[in-house]
């Protein structure tokens, strides 16, 4: 991921806490966060950031999978499941231990 140029935007986005736009050919990642959010706690922002990084990590796999015979919905659902698992794992690892 270190060979990507990373951008951050604040835009109106609906139905999600954040999103990542991946340009595999141009090697760019654009992380988009909403201009307004109901939950701006550090934990919520951290969780959203980790979640979107996980999407970026699996983006190449997703792009390749889209060229195969699986339906777009099957691929998107599978990616979301993997991303949620990665997010939970990383979030649990980053919690302070007592």
To the question of pTM greater than 0.75 for the whole model, the response is no
Q: How do residues 22-64 score in pLDDT, each as one tens digit?
A: 887 788 888 888 877 777 777 877 888 888 888 888 887 787 7
Q: What is the CATH number of the domain that holds 81?
A: 1.10.10
CA 1, chain centre distance (Å)? 13
Which residues of 1-98 form beta strands (DSSP E)?
Answer: 5-11, 19-23, 28-34
Per the structure, the count of domains in the chain is 1
Domain containing 34 equals: 5-94
Instruction: Please report the pLDDT score of residue 1 as a whole number.
Output: 61
């Amino acid at each position: 991921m270190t060979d990507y140029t990373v951008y951050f935007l604040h835009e109106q986005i609906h139905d999600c806490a954040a999103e990542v736009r991946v340009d595999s050919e141009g090697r760019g990642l654009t992380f988009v966060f909403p201009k307004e959010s109901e939950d701006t706690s550090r934990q919520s922002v951290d969780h959203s950031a980790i979640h979107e990084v996980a999407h970026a990590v699996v983006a190449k796999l997703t792009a390749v999978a889209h060229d195969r015979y699986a339906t777009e919905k099957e691929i998107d659902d599978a990616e979301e499941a993997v991303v949620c698992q990665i997010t939970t794992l990383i979030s649990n690892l980053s919690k302070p231990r007592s």
